[in-house]
């Protein structure tokens, strides 16, 4: 079942429900801000201070960073403009009793061309089941090529950050954005301070474990992964987060960032896909 709903202020979102799972996706940013298994267990973290207001990005869930990750394109706002742009619903369908799929679309507009002078079509296909599949498809509709960096900026809920471990990035080149140094990651990742790094040459699935759950994230069309936790100081300075929120999530972002940028020639398409699967501990 797919229903169009809205909060009291008129902010619209889609609610998807089937026997295996449910999800909520805002039309602004095609932003998945909730995904729950049928036992009600939440996969994503969502800030209790998050504003659901046009023009401000939702804090939590899966913001789409597009057409630039971070400040990879210094002419654009941090993480691009898709997360604050209104998408339209293109299609929705039931795939049996356990899976529901929607496609949302954003096209260039007068406002987007002022920020980024390229014609494009961006489609986001989300399949909600006991597995969550997200596919972000970019098509260059322009006469000139453009450079794309992007991320599915997933905020995964954890029982407690000090119990969280991210596996699958050992032996990969790591750019540490806090020190501006690049080195080879030697160990699985656990957290005891601010962490903000981009991993390259990633070819295996990522496993996220905490005291309660084990998830895997399989990426396609991507060889970079961003791992981020702001810790207390940065969290206290950030918008729409309470200071201790850093204890409740870790971001593991399926990306095309830094060296993993894509150049799209006219009519070319690139698909960034992430599949999130609950695993038995």
Q: Which residues bind ligand BG6 (CB under 6 A)?
A: 57, 70, 78-79, 153, 177, 196, 226, 228, 238, 253
Q: How far is the CB of 70 from ligand BG6 (least distance, A)?
A: 5
> Which of 203, 204, 121, 191 lies closest to 160 in space, CA to CA?
191
Q: Whose Cβ is closer to ligand BG6: residue 20's or residue 240's?
A: 240
Which residues neighbour 6 within 8 Å (Cβ) at sequence distance 6 or greater? 12, 13
Q: How far is the CB of 78 from ligand BG6 (least distance, A)?
A: 4
Q: Whose Cβ is closer to ligand BG6: residue 2's or residue 60's?
A: 60
Cα(174)–Cα(142) distance, integer angstroms: 34
Q: Whose Cβ is closer to ligand BG6: residue 68's or residue 226's?
A: 226
DSSP H helices in the chain: 110-115, 231-237
Q: Whose Cβ is closer to ligand BG6: residue 128's or residue 152's?
A: 152
* Terminal Cα distance for the chain, rounded: 30
**Strand order from edge to edge, sheet including 214-220:** 88-94, 100-107, 120-128, 131-140, 269-279, 214-220, 206-209, 165-167, 189-190
Q: Whose Cβ is closer to ligand BG6: residue 76's or residue 165's?
A: 76
Q: How far is the CB of 115 from ligand BG6 (least distance, A)?
A: 16
Q: How far is the CB of 238 from ligand BG6 (least distance, A)?
A: 6
Inter-residue contact 131 to 277 (CB < 8 Å): yes
Q: How far is the CB of 205 from ligand BG6 (least distance, A)?
A: 20
């Amino acid at each position: 079942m797919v229903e169009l709903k809205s909060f009291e202020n008129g902010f619209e979102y889609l609610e998807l429900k089937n026997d295996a799972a449910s999800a909520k996706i805002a039309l602004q940013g095609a932003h998945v801000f909730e995904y729950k298994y049928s036992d009600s267990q939440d996969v994503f973290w969502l800030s209790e201070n998050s504003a659901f207001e046009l023009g401000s990005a939702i804090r939590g869930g899966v913001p789409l960073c597009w057409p630039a990750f971070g400040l990879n394109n210094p002419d654009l706002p941090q993480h691009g403009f898709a997360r604050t742009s209104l998408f339209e619903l293109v299609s929705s369908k039931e795939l049996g009793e356990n899976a529901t799929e929607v496609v949302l679309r954003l096209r260039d507009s007068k406002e987007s061309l002022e920020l980024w002078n390229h014609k494009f079509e961006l489609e986001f296909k989300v399949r909600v089941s006991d597995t969550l599949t997200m596919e972000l498809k970019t098509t260059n509709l322009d006469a000139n090529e453009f450079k794309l960096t992007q991320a599915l900026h997933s905020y995964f809920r954890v029982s407690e950050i000090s119990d969280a471990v991210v596996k699958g990035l050992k032996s990969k080149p790591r750019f540490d954005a806090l020190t501006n140094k690049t080195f080879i990651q030697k160990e699985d990742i656990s957290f005891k301070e601010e962490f903000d790094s981009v991993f390259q040459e990633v070819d295996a699935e990522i496993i996220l474990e905490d005291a309660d759950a084990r998830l895997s994230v399989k990426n396609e069309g991507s060889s970079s992964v961003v791992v981020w936790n702001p810790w207390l100081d940065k969290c206290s300075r950030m918008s729409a987060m309470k200071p201790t929120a850093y204890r409740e999530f870790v971001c593991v972002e399926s990306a095309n960032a830094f060296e993993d940028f894509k150049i799209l020639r006219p009519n070319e398409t690139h698909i960034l896909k992430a599949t999130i699967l609950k695993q038995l501990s």
